[in-house]
A and B are shown apart, each in its own frame.
Chain A
């Protein structure tokens, strides 16, 4: 009788392992190095208020641009962006108020005024979903999803 039990136990372990191997995607992308293949992924969100998405300074290598405009108490355009891990990011936030733009988790901030956009440059080295908000108003701007 204990023999049968061991057989059932062994069979279920085998089933689980086979299931795991079958279901798991085998492209090896998870946890691996970020894809550096695609040259210069520039992702710009719609209304660019005269600020061109071209990198300032000619030596700047590829960067992902994320540009957001906050007007009349609302974010114009999408409120979530997905960026591969390891990417160099430039956030540009335009607003019709004076406040502080804060990237949670990375804990980066920059001041924004109606005259001057907030600019935050950083490398997205930690995966996760991070809230970007207008700190003073407590107003969420968008969510930055950094995927491996």
Chain B
């Protein structure tokens, strides 16, 4: 059995990791979701949101308590960092051993716990990756300077977050297209490669300067964490703020828009590529041709999403007679709630159902037949979520994400422009968000 799996040529990108798909959301719920998104965003904007609430909002003062001293405790921070480094090494080693996708803890922890679970945790709890990131911890242990690298020059500001966007594309390509993307062995090499790129970047441009621009997961989780109701003030104390408010403070820089577009487009492509339309169209292709078609499809969907946004931004910028580029970058953080909504809608059941596999593998991370905690003979409980529960979560995620996006864009518009102009800039943006919401719901119903 083990050898059969190890030599198998996988049919789909996720391989056996995602041999289950959610049932299509019933039409009535799709219609209700679309109606709810429109009604809520219209009411929120016309009646309830007449002055900016997020823009230039000062952080509240930190309240002193014993919780703060725990959260800022250096020894505890380092205990967590080292523990996470060990977890990283275990996952990397489990991903390096040649085996079937379900045989080690590597693939499921990477695609379910890390990519989906941590993203959701960031939206709720703030920037955990700042402490959990093994790349940051390695950089600190090696002793790279914060801003000063071996190149002697500062990080080129014109690059902005482009390195993160490119690496993020690499990750989603491996996740969604690469025929061996869920196979340990292959994955281990990629993890090693990514770690080497991060070390080289930190060595050359300084740890912090590189990580906030070139570490794909740090940039991605950081953007999602900006919507969280918790953050740290400049002294490191944890403070509360309204949900979404932090996205108004995201600094616009080159490459920010590509990061968001890769994230948004890739989830859309994943939904589309699992529809019968796509699987039937590519069923006859050879493995190589299928990989090529999927790569083209992934790029095309990211391109279409970007095009829709840019066209809307050109129209909106025309209203206030400004250049569209800075306009497009300035409004791009308002798409982050939609990014998270898509992740929840597409992968929530994957995290809860297939994610259980990670618990099984805790007892046998490397697939060597161990049973450390007595969980290795557990079975995944696929009945944990009823289809109805999955549908409600999916539609609620899309609707909430849509409303969040509309509210953020509106807040920024009324802060920047006169009332009349602000409303008129929003027509095009509202149209593109309705487009994203409608396509998101349609993909879920397929």
Contact = CB atoms under 8 A, between A and B. Distances in A.
A140 B229 CA distance: 44
A129 B35 CA distance: 27
Contact of A20 (B5, B32, B387): B32
A42 B161 CA distance: 58
A9 B42 CA distance: 11
B23 A145 contact: yes
B8 A136 contact: yes
A77 interface: no
B40 A30 contact: no
A109 B19 CA distance: 13
Contacts of B35: 16, 19
A130 B26 CA distance: 18
Interface stretch (A45-53, A57-65, A99-107): A99-107
Contact of B47 (A5, A106, A126, A136): A5
A127 B386 CA distance: 7
Contacts, number: 100
B21 A8 contact: no
A31 B20 contact: no
B22 A19 contact: no
Contacts of B287: 138
Interface in B28-79: 28-29, 31-32, 35-36, 39-40, 43, 47-48
B276 A12 contact: no
Contact of B20 (A30, A128, A133, A140): A128
B386 A148 contact: yes
A34 B94 CA distance: 41
A12 B21 contact: no
Counting chain A residues whose Cβ lies within 8 A of the other chain, the interface size class is: 35 or more
B277 interface: no
B141 interface: no
B8 A135 contact: yes
A104 B20 CA distance: 6
B11 interface: yes
A15 B383 contact: no
B22 A129 contact: yes
A31 B388 contact: yes
B283 interface: yes
B16 interface: yes
A129 B20 contact: yes
A143 B446 CA distance: 14
Nearest to B19: A104
Given A105-B20, A138-B10, A23 B386 contact: no
Contacts of B386: 31, 127, 148
Interface in A46-91: 80
A137 to B, nearest CB: 7
A44 interface: no
A138 B12 CA distance: 8
Nearest to A109: B1
A23 B32 contact: yes
Given A5-B48, A140-B11, A126 B39 contact: no
A106 B5 CA distance: 16
Contacts of A128: 20-23, 382, 387
Given A16-B39, A139-B11, A140-B283, A129 B21 contact: yes
Contacts of B39: 12, 15-16
B120 to A, nearest CB: 21
B28 A25 contact: yes
A147 interface: yes
A100 B19 contact: no
B10 A131 contact: no
A138 B11 contact: yes
A147 B11 contact: no
A109 B8 CA distance: 14
Interface string A1-36: 000110011001001100110011100001100000
Contact of B4 (A8, A104, A135): A135
B23 A127 contact: yes
A126 B8 contact: no
A23 B395 CA distance: 14
Contacts of A20: 32
Nearest to A106: B382
Contacts of B43: 8-9, 12
A16 B341 CA distance: 20
A129 B23 contact: yes
Interface of B: 1, 4-5, 7-12, 16, 19-23, 26, 28-29, 31-32, 35-36, 39-40, 43, 47-48, 102, 276, 279, 283, 287, 380, 382-383, 386-388
15 contacts: A4-B47, A19-B32, A102-B16, A102-B19, A104-B19, A105-B19, A126-B382, A128-B21, A128-B387, A130-B21, A131-B12, A138-B8, A138-B287, A140-B283, A147-B23
The 5 closest A-B CB pairs, nearest first, are A104-B19, A126-B382, A105-B20, A129-B21, A138-B9
